[in-house]
Structure 1
Amino acid sequence: MDDDGFEPRLGRLGKGKGRYVGRVVRATNLARGSGQSPLGRKHFTGARNGRGAGAGGVLAGRDGLASWRQRRVTIKTRLVRLSGRGIAGAAAHLQYLKRDGVTRDGERGTLYGPDSDRVEGSAFLKRGDGDRHQFRFIVSAEDGDQYPNLKPFTRTLMREMERDLGTKLDWVAVDHFNTAHPHTHIVLRGREESGRDLVIAKDYIARGMRERACEIVRRDLGLRSDHEIAAQLRREMGQERLTSLDRRFIREQAANGLVEARARDPFDQTLRAGRLQTLKAMGLATPIGGDHWRLSDEAEAALREMGRRGDIIAALNQAVTRAGIERPLSQRCEFEQARSETLVGRLVERGLSDELGDRHFMIVDGIDGRTHYVDIGKGENVELLPVGSILAVKARLPEIRTSDRTIVDIAAAHGGRYDVDTHLRHDPSATESFAATHVRRLEALRRIDPGIERAADGSWRIAPDHLERVRRCEALRAKDRPVEIEPLSTMPLGAQIGHNGATWLDRTLIEDQAFEGEGFGSDVAAARLQRRAWLVGQGLATETDGVTRFASGMVTTLQRRELLRVAAQLSGELGMEFAEARTGAKVEGIYRRGLNIGGQKFALIEKSREFTLVPWRPVLERGLGQPVTGIVRESGISWSIGRQRGMEIS
């Protein structure tokens, strides 16, 4: 094609893979260069596209009241595209919001809406079936604990948003009181009253909505009083974490090169002097003569880390106390994310370290005799396990995979392009399904880095710095999912001793794993002795001269016993016959759900008149409610999701 030629393609803007509008915006800004345009106007960013742009600009441009007296509100916004699992994923999110222990009384949360204190999530989801996207907000007022009930505040905020956006909004909400700051989760449909997609201007989401919320809190509670401000600042003087006083000091030092303890207001001077003395004791501030001080370059990072460590210690101590576990303080520790060995233990508790950021933690009572705090990252990435489950935790270390290097090598030999056909020509010994795993790897990376680009002909453009891009993508993924959690058994240890089915204890006995020491490790050792005696009584093991011999296929026998028992129960519930899956057989039907059987997870696959149970894999959740097809092999099952050209998962 010559320089003046072009290739027209039909379709509405923003529909295609390349997101045409976004590409035009980026190209326009790149052509203008950095900084501002010659006319002094800022670059076009699209921030004012969508509903609420005018209101967002007006609200953000208001002269704010003094920051000390302002009642602040934090709003976390997430736009979720309802693709893949779609409504099933949205339903799981609502169930999570309604989990136990989130109300003031420690009960389950309740969904409410504009006109009712109790609404059905299923009705909301049914209305949203077919929506392109959802908005999810977490609204946390700094003084939310002063509201006896957050529902009026939330409804007022949503009415104000309707006026700002010029359309009726369809939403549900849940109030949570399980953190230091009460807050509200709001799920908003991505549809206007007219039925079109709801697009909200970035300016309104970033600033306008927060200003509206602050305005409502100010009307309800008034400005903060001198007494409230003084009480908060006194608490900050001795805290081992980053405080508002520290932020003021950091800004002053950046502007003037130093910090002054002296102030015109006597109370302010007392606060400044007191806090600087506390920082001096921590080794983070040094007097340089008179009333002048200098903060350490590491002060901000060190104070943030102190705050994080304090939160970890508090969470550990509270969990150990609630669970009645007796462990010395020296045996309560944080799981080291860089460690190479695997932590095996019992789940004591799961909680939120940062609900606004959706960061979760687990408290794990390890077989090493220590109780561990484990940062598990984004909660949506880790399935909910019952307390008492036995699990293995391993750090997820960012790494470049062999498939990444293979892609780079093949692309280097073929003009910087990669696709399945090129792979097969380059390596005749490779199979098409093997090459397809490399394509899925590129698709997963592109969701993190849009710069990893697929061409219109389906091939991939592999940049010279591809491996460095992969390294950055893996680092981002590790931040959201720092550990791998492998459920070993959802059955508590005590229940496994006499369980008439396969258990985790059986596997440890056959593999002759050693368990000793203190804490949960000694509990496991004692349970193994009792389980061994039960197996001998069942004729599944023999003991001679202190040596235990287990029957051949013992675990398989126990697994089949329980599988058939659960299948008989399901057969009565579903009104269908159970068809046992044999090695080499083809399995096809609708994937309905996963269920735990004897500490292992199985997938329920339904046909028109029968059902089967096969080992579950996480990738099946992408095909929830869809037809799936697979071949049972000893090493696992290769799945195809969808009726025809589905995605094969080996």
Structure 2
Amino acid sequence: MASRKQSHEGERLRIKPAAPKSRSGPGWQPFVSQVLKATSKAGVKASGARSGRPASTFGRGRVAAGMVGNRLPADARRVVIKSRFMVFKNASANSIAMHLRYIERDGVTRDGQRGHAYGAATDAADLKAFEKRGQSDRHQFRFIISVEDAEQLEDLRGYTRELMRGMEIDLETPLDWVAVDHWDTDNAHTHVVLRGRTGEGRAGRDLVIAPDYMAYGMRMRASELATDWLGPRTELEIRQALQREVEHERLTSLDRTLLRQAVLDVVDLTETPATTVNLRQRQTLLRARLQRLEAMGLAGRSDSNRWRLAPDLGRSLAAMGERGDIVRAMHRAMKGETRELTIEASPAMSITGRIAGKGLADELHERGYLVVDGVDGRAHYLKLPAGADLAELPVGSVVEIRPPAQERAVDRSILAEVKDGIYTTASHQAQLARAGDRDPKGTAEAHVRRLEALRRSGIVERVAEGVWAVPPDLLQKAGPHDAQKVAGHAIELLSHLPIEQQVKAMGATWLDRSLLASDSRGSQPARQGFGVQVREAMARRVDFLAGQGLAERRGLRVVFARNLLATLRERELASVGQDLQRQTGKTWRQVQDGQRVSGIYRQSVQLISGRLAMLGDDLGFSLVPWRPVIEQRLGQRLAAVVHGSTVTWDVGRHKVLSL
């Protein structure tokens, strides 16, 4: 009886805790998350795991990833490595060539010259041969390696080669790679392109690198090597680096420490009696950083030892750092010229101006940016759509950037000329002549180019030569068409020549089109910044055209020759055609309006009036308007029908009508 009584008492005293109750509200975290954060703050690591994730179970380097860096001291040199895994079937056809051309671009050496690729055993790597070797590869690795105090390395190439030799040991295979050192930023860095295949022929295999080695093994190896080359960081260097971080308006290592220590966005810096000298110094720096964050409105003091951090502290500081980088890039591009700076993720209105500077906002993913000195008198910073080729946008050239969904004036003009659902080029050209348009033929051709683009998307239909069926909801359909054509804003290269070279150029320039537009609409560039330079260039261009008999000043008014742009194009074409005839020894065949021409696509020729394609045979050649659709058919026989500055291309089985 006694034993049964004791058993019942034991059952009554047994504790059965329930699961933590769920709560909601700002700053609330699950109980498990609070426990994990507390254990992380205390320095506890999960057994057999790094950073709370299991070790890699596949790929080369997984063993090295678990061993390298285990003896890395706290005073080791820091190295930042950004990596990208490129699967070729998901990339564009020219992405490899574009990337290799980018890393060897101009202005990246110490003295601002063109970069030079090197390899494991050569200082002059052949990028075309490297690209050819990797044509059948499934994937490719791209790395950006940035060593702390890289400017102190006497031989950055030697460091990179030794790092790659260490990787060959870790991955247990030879590596085929090329690299280019860049000195054009605040921190010198190296771009490394590594083939995704080892061995040759049938003996070759795909190179699969363990995720752990990609995540931290390579960085640890690079840090060990940098420490061997430069020596460990002294306590003074570490302290000075942290002191500089106190005032930075960007995300720093001090901020990351604060975010790790924060519990429910509250940081408690109460010192304990066992605090060491080094920890006290770090606490002092953290307090100084919190005071700076408080002044920036990103932290608030609760008492002498407690601060509450802004909920979006990390994102806010990262955005501030990015904005600071953008402002510095704009100042470098403007080279001391005073402008109102405008940073726009997506401009609401069209922007026209000269390219004052360009570069990459994200080097790893090759997302470029432009600094455009606008005719509105302001400088604009614009991120380019993914895949945009910076080489096609030279500094000094004139561009137009517009939102893809913006209604275009040419579409409204087409609708205004539509009668019973039909647009006719001849009637529009006649109407333009009656209205006093200075270049009715050129204006009508611009409308035809737009109609051809819309026809290829199925929005309009070409009934006959110069006759189009246009739907009444053209504006509603054209917007999505433009939005699908480009990701982000649309960029159009208006002239590859700077305005200074356009003043006396014999060809149809952007200045000529601007003069005709301002004459018909009365619009003028701003009276400040680049707008002033454009006004002066336009005045000098009028003087040049008057000397050529193509313009006449009548008091304050300027009268231009009829079909000015077509006349300028024809004069330039005649000069270029004769020059090419002398160079090649072949007869230049002038193309008449509406004529069909054919031949082997030999090359493209950049003129002031636009780019032309050379179609020829053994006896002669013709020059016709070039379009991007034919560039992949270089060396093939093509045919085209030319109407002024518009062209219809026939590439064999598939008929391609380009703008």
- Distance in 1 (alpha carbons) for counterparts of 2:404 and 2:569: 31
What corresponds to 1:339 in structure 2?
347
1:569 aligns with 2:579: yes
What corresponds to 2:31 in structure 1?
none
- Distance in 2 (alpha carbons) for counterparts of 1:622 and 1:527: 37
- Secondary structure at the counterpart of residue 533 of structure 1: helix
Q: 1:376 Cα shift?
A: 2.5
Asked if the contact 2:355–2:399 (Cα under 8 Å) also holds between the matched residues in 1, the reply is yes
Which amino acid in structure 2 is aligned with residue 355 of structure 1? Answer: E
- Distance in 2 (alpha carbons) for counterparts of 1:633 and 1:350: 36
State the Cα RMSD in Å. 3.7
Asked if the contact 1:342–1:392 (Cα under 8 Å) also holds between the matched residues in 2, the reply is yes
Asked if the contact 2:399–2:495 (Cα under 8 Å) also holds between the matched residues in 1, the reply is yes
- Distance in 2 (alpha carbons) for counterparts of 1:625 and 1:169: 35
Asked if the contact 2:340–2:378 (Cα under 8 Å) also holds between the matched residues in 1, the reply is yes
Identity of aligned residues (%): 38
1:496 aligns with 2:502: yes
Alignment of 1:317-396 (within 5 A): 317-321=331-335, 324-325=336-337, 327=338, 331-376=339-384, 378=386, 380-396=388-404
Which amino acid in structure 2 is aligned with residue 209 of structure 1? Answer: M
Measured against aligned partners, the alpha-carbon deviations of 1:194-238 in whole angstroms (never above 9, x if no partner) come to 323533235244444333333322332343322221111000111
Asked if the contact 1:587–1:629 (Cα under 8 Å) also holds between the matched residues in 2, the reply is yes
Measured against aligned partners, the alpha-carbon deviations of 1:440-474 in whole angstroms (never above 9, x if no partner) come to xxxxxxxxxxxxxxxxxxxxxxxxxxxxxxx9xx8
Asked if the contact 2:83–2:214 (Cα under 8 Å) also holds between the matched residues in 1, the reply is no
What corresponds to 1:182 in structure 2?
188
Structure number with larger C-alpha Rg: 2
Measured against aligned partners, the alpha-carbon deviations of 1:489-548 in whole angstroms (never above 9, x if no partner) come to 111212222222211111112222423411221221222222112212211123335433
What corresponds to 2:248 in structure 1?
239
1:221 aligns with 2:237: no
Moved more, 580-589 or 110-119: 580-589
Aligned length: 528
Q: 1:337 Cα shift?
A: 3.2
Match of 1:523 among 528, 533, 541: 533
Rate the CA distance shift 1:245–1:179 in 2: closer, same or farther, 3 A. same
1:547 aligns with 2:554: no
Rate the CA distance shift 1:161–1:616 in 2: closer, same or farther, 3 A. farther
- Distance in 2 (alpha carbons) for counterparts of 1:304 and 1:336: 17
Give unpaired runs (5+ residues) of structure 1. Answer: 1-39, 400-432, 439-470
Which amino acid in structure 1 is aligned with residue 282 of structure 2? Answer: D
TM-score (norm 1): 0.72
- Distance in 2 (alpha carbons) for counterparts of 1:611 and 1:82: 38
- Secondary structure at the counterpart of residue 384 of structure 2: strand
Q: 1:293 Cα shift?
A: 0.9
Measured against aligned partners, the alpha-carbon deviations of 1:270-307 in whole angstroms (never above 9, x if no partner) come to 10110111111111111112301110113222222221
Which amino acid in structure 2 is aligned with residue 232 of structure 1? Answer: A
Give unpaired runs (5+ residues) of structure 2. Answer: 1-48, 408-452, 459-479
TM-score (norm 2): 0.71
- Distance in 2 (alpha carbons) for counterparts of 1:217 and 1:635: 59
Match of 2:148 among 142, 147, 166: 142
Alignment of 1:187-202 (within 5 A): 187-195=193-201, 196=204, 198-202=206-210
Which amino acid in structure 2 is aligned with residue 282 of structure 1? Answer: M
Match of 1:277 among 278, 288, 291: 291
Alignment of 1:401-416 (within 5 A): none
Rate the CA distance shift 1:347–1:291 in 2: closer, same or farther, 3 A. same
What corresponds to 2:627 in structure 1?
617
Q: 1:319 Cα shift?
A: 2.6
Moved more, 577-586 or 208-217: 577-586
Q: 1:345 Cα shift?
A: 1.2
- Distance in 2 (alpha carbons) for counterparts of 1:522 and 1:127: 52
- Secondary structure at the counterpart of residue 206 of structure 2: coil
Rate the CA distance shift 1:348–1:434 in 2: closer, same or farther, 3 A. closer
- Secondary structure at the counterpart of residue 392 of structure 2: coil
1:75 aligns with 2:75: no
- Distance in 1 (alpha carbons) for counterparts of 2:268 and 2:345: 40
Q: 1:347 Cα shift?
A: 1.6
What corresponds to 2:325 in structure 1?
311
- Secondary structure at the counterpart of residue 194 of structure 2: strand
1:209 aligns with 2:218: yes
Measured against aligned partners, the alpha-carbon deviations of 1:543-576 in whole angstroms (never above 9, x if no partner) come to 3354332222221111122123223333444454
- Distance in 1 (alpha carbons) for counterparts of 2:139 and 2:602: 24
Which amino acid in structure 1 is aligned with residue 155 of structure 2? Answer: N
- Distance in 2 (alpha carbons) for counterparts of 1:356 and 1:519: 34
Asked if the contact 2:346–2:489 (Cα under 8 Å) also holds between the matched residues in 1, the reply is no
Which amino acid in structure 1 is aligned with residue 573 of structure 2? Answer: L
Asked if the contact 2:64–2:217 (Cα under 8 Å) also holds between the matched residues in 1, the reply is yes
Q: 1:332 Cα shift?
A: 2.6
